[in-house]
Amino acid sequence: MKGSPAEFYDGTLIHDHEATWQNYGKRHQECLAHVERYLRSSIENEPWLKWNKQMLEWIKEAVHWRNSMPEGGGADPQEIERLVERYGKILEKAKEEYEYEPPGDYFKDGYNLYKRMWEDRDDYLLFLYDPSIPPTNNAAENAARKYKRKNAQVMCFRSGEGRDYFCDGLSVMESMRADGENMYEGVRERFNQGTGAV
């Protein structure tokens, strides 16, 4: 993390459960897409449990509710309270189930997820309280996928300078796309800066 933007970032970080991230940023939102994967794995490996299926349904419901909120509209405090209460009840169910039948040595991912969701619940519920916080880091992963795809095509960049040129160009183009700028005109304008060409 040294030297990366995260080292100096003072906002909210949306990430998987990597503990290192907890040392950076002010607030944290666990990426619920990662949580869904762990829950599906738990359902597959611990099919007798109920909490994992209930939590998967809770995530779908909570994200749907959050995404259906009107732009700039305030969140309904009663609905937030209902969702948070249900979240707690599902984790109570997980506690009961794991006390009755503790996880085996073969598969502990479901149990570890339950413990994280119990101990760090604020990191899983932040998106309900703050409409500016997305429930997943999918946007960041989609942006990183472009670099990963290019890296897979060329196997490796010939130099750090070539990699930096690619990342700078990609950053400019993604910024133009986010601003709704015409891609052709935007690139042409930037190439012509300082040359006097039109």
pLDDT along the chain (198 residues), means of 10: 74 77 82 94 96 97 88 78 97 97 93 95 91 71 55 66 75 81 82 65
| Whether residue 147 sits in one domain with residue 131 | no
Would you say residue 97 lies in a domain?
A: yes
Distance CA 126, CA 30 (A): 9
Would you say residue 159 lies in a domain?
A: yes
pLDDT given at position 162: 74
| Whether residue 166 sits in one domain with residue 119 | no
pLDDT given at position 6: 74
Q: Is the pTM of this model over 0.95?
A: no
pLDDT given at position 159: 78
Last-in-domain residue among 95, 110, 136: 136
Residue 34, H or E segment:
helix 32-45
pLDDT given at position 198: 52
Distance CA 117, CA 35 (A): 9
| Whether residue 163 sits in one domain with residue 68 | no
| Whether residue 115 sits in one domain with residue 63 | yes
| Whether residue 103 sits in one domain with residue 158 | no
Q: Which residues contact 125 (CB under 8 A, 6 or more apart)?
A: 84, 87
Domain count for the chain, please give it. Answer: 2
Q: Torsion over CA of 188, 190, 194 and 198, rounded to 10 degrees?
A: 20
pLDDT given at position 89: 98
| Whether residue 49 sits in one domain with residue 147 | no
pLDDT given at position 118: 96
Print the domain residue range for 182.
Answer: 139-192
| Whether residue 156 sits in one domain with residue 59 | no
pLDDT given at position 103: 93
